[in-house]
Amino acid sequence: MSRIISPSMLSADFGHLSDDIQMINRSQAEWLHVDVMDGVFVPNISFGFPIMEVLKKECTKPLDVHLMITHPERYVERFADAGAWSIGFHSEAVDDPRPILDLIRKKGCRTCLTVNPDISLDRLLPYVAEVDMVLLMSVFAGYGGQRFIPETYERLRTVRNFIDENGLSTLIEIDGGVNTGNAEQLWQAGADVLVAGSAVFHAGNPEKEILRLKGEL
Ligand code: DX5
Ligand code: ZN
């Protein structure tokens, strides 16, 4: 099982964005998580294409884009062209995820399907075999710095068992409230990728914090 860390840009210092990107480039983090919010699907607005362009130019790590927007199908092509490596969207935001997954694949990006903590796994499990990754939200999408919802462990184990029983290689990503106090338990429960925003960017030493999250320090 892999232990991939995807620090979330949402908690970066946008006044010194280049410094934070350089830190990510130097660090042992595998990916960079990019949270896009539209103020409609979630009650918050984050950032969009101009920031993507900066990341595309300056960041050496794959961009793991998490769309928290309605009508993700309208924006997949532009995010792919703006440098996304992986594109994820919420199952509950759409009627049928399949055409959007096809579009993401056609643009050469990795596919990820996401659900909020209150969404039945029935909205996720039928697609697990067709996507590169599933993202289980461990807080309600919308803001960084929220408290981890412990029911996530049970959901994580359910999805882990489903993947193992079906001999699949789909990755499981956990997003929201991840820190050094719960990372090891999440790895043990079967997570492959941990997103961490405030835990990384608000740490005294973010690079060391990334190693701690991986359990290497
Ligand atoms: C929440 C975002 C998360 C968030 C995580 O809507 O999807 O990626 O930035 O931030 P922390 O790690 O601070 O909970
Ligand atoms: Zn996210």
What domains sit in the chain, N to C, each tagged with a CATH number?
4-214 (3.20.20.70)
81 flagged as catalytic: no
**Portion of the chain with pLDDT greater than 90, in percent:** 99
pLDDT digits (tens, 9 = 90+) for 190-217: 999 999 999 999 999 999 999 999 999 9
175 flagged as catalytic: yes
Q: Is 141 helix (H, G, I), strand (E, B) or coil?
A: coil
What does the alpha-carbon distance between residue 73 and residue 97 come to, in Å, rounded to a whole number?
Answer: 9
Residue whose CA lies nearest to ligand 1 atom number 4: 144
Residue whose CA lies nearest to ligand 1 atom number 7: 141
Phi-psi region of 163 (alpha: psi -120 to 50; beta: other; left: phi over 0): alpha
Residue whose CA lies nearest to ligand 1 atom number 6: 141
Q: pTM of this prediction?
A: 0.98
Amino acid 82: pLDDT: 98
pLDDT of residue 187 exceeding 80: yes
Q: Which of 35, 38, 64, 192 is catalytic?
A: 35
What does the alpha-carbon distance between residue 22 and residue 13 come to, in Å, rounded to a whole number?
Answer: 12
Amino acid 190: pLDDT: 98
Per residue, the 3-state secondary structure of 115-139, as one string, reads ECCCCCHHHCHHHHHHCCEEEEECC
What does the alpha-carbon distance between residue 179 and residue 161 come to, in Å, rounded to a whole number?
Answer: 24
How much distance in Å is there from the Cα of 204 to the middle of ligand 2?
A: 22
Amino acid 40: pLDDT: 98
What does the alpha-carbon distance between residue 73 and residue 94 come to, in Å, rounded to a whole number?
Answer: 9
Determine the atom of ligand 1 nearest the C-alpha atom of 179.
12
pLDDT of residue 1 exceeding 80: no
Determine the atom of ligand 1 nearest the C-alpha atom of 177.
14
Question: Of the ligands numbered here, which is closest to the C-alpha atom of 11?
Answer: 1
